[in-house]
Structure 1
Amino acid sequence: MDSKDDTDRLRYLIDLIDREDAHLLAVRSRFLGHCCDVDAQRMQSLLSDDVGVDRLESFGAKFGRMQDTVMDKFIPVLLRLSGERVVAAIDNLGKMERLCLIESADAWLQMRNLRNRLVHEYFDRPADMAPALERACRFTDVMHADYQAMREYAQSHFAL
């Protein structure tokens, strides 16, 4: 891709991730309110009806979608436009951390590992999912803040 194509792609991805971010924060609020503390008892309560199950599925899907879009699409384009070589996702995250555009590459890797647990494991043992849900809830703030930093960087450095 040439830089104009990358700039157009970056503009498109910012619009997309802005929506994903808003939807993720909204479903988190509907599902968990303003408290990310989740223990076995709260998990049981959250999943006591179909609305809670639907909200968990929605939260997990939106969490995974935004994380995937940022890591697999947005970061590579942003790095290319910044003159960096795009490599494996883990190395790209390291570059983003060194550029101070994300707080922690390790946090993003943990987010990636959490997405599958949120979608697949809660039916078997909901109480075991409580710590994962709590971490994912807290990671939404990290994802949101890091995305805002990347977005501001992109908008200030490229003709968007």
Structure 2
Amino acid sequence: MKADIAYKGALDICNTHAERLNWAMAELKPHFPLTPAKLAQLTPLELAIFDQFIVRFSKLQDAMGAKLLPAVLDLTQEQGELSAFIDKLNRLEKIGAIESANEWLQLREMRNQFAHDYPEDSDIQASLLNKAFGLSERMLVILKGVSDFAERYQQ
């Protein structure tokens, strides 16, 4: 019962981030693929939406990794003595909650790259945002898959 409550709370947080990420993606879609020239022409409002995209991508990835995925392991009673995050990811992959532990690590690396700011290098900015846009679509698919998987274990 406690695991079910923790899972539902984590899923609610993730769904809020996902909803806002989806909104930002819909607003930004016409700008992709992004180039340094397109970046230079963005309005202040469009830049704010890019900021929203980055924040929600990062928050969703973090909430899924720190709260949702461990809650799924608790819900399925699969956690055991897994202390390393990679071991948890591998277990989640093995039980079918996620398709690929390596893919999740790519999402985490993308989130970490957002922590670095490259204000003078529009080539790097455009490249990161293009990569993140594709990964964000994949992260939303993973969230749906995790949610569908966990439904079988809810009380």
Please indicate the TM-score interval, normalised by the length of the shorter structure: 0.7 to 0.9
CA contact (8 A) 1:36 1:138 kept: no
Which amino acid in 2 is paired with 1:72?
A
Aligned to 1:10: 7
CA displacement, residues 44-92 of structure 1 (integer Å, 9 cap, x when unaligned): 33xx332222112111110000000001111111112212224322222
CA contact (8 A) 1:96 1:102 kept: yes
The alpha carbon displacement at 1:119 in A equals 4.7
CA contact (8 A) 2:98 2:146 kept: yes
Aligned to 2:66: 72
1:118, 1:95 → 2: CA distance? 27
The alpha carbon displacement at 1:94 in A equals 1.8
Which amino acid in 2 is paired with 1:53?
L
Q: TM-score w.r.t. structure 1 length? A: 0.84
When structure 1 is superposed on structure 2, of 125-134 and 36-45 the one drifting more is 36-45
Name the % identity. 22
Aligned to 1:30: 27
Report 1:25-64 matches (<5 A): 25-33=22-30, 36-45=32-41, 48-64=42-58
Equivalent pairs, count: 153
Aligned to 2:89: 93
Among 18, 23, 28, the alignment partner of 1:21 is 18
Which amino acid in 2 is paired with 1:41?
A
Aligned to 1:152: 148
When structure 1 is superposed on structure 2, of 119-128 and 5-14 the one drifting more is 119-128
Backbone CA RMSD of aligned residues? 1.9
CA contact (8 A) 1:27 1:58 kept: yes
- CA, structure 1 residues 125+146, in 2 after alignment: closer, same or farther (shift >3 Å)? same
CA displacement, residues 12-57 of structure 1 (integer Å, 9 cap, x when unaligned): 1222212211111111111234x74223333333xx3322221121
Aligned to 2:130: 134
Q: Could you list the runs of 5+ residues in structure 2 that have no partner in the other structure?
A: none
Q: Could you list the runs of 5+ residues in structure 1 that have no partner in the other structure?
A: none
| SS of alignment partner, residue 152 of structure 2 | helix
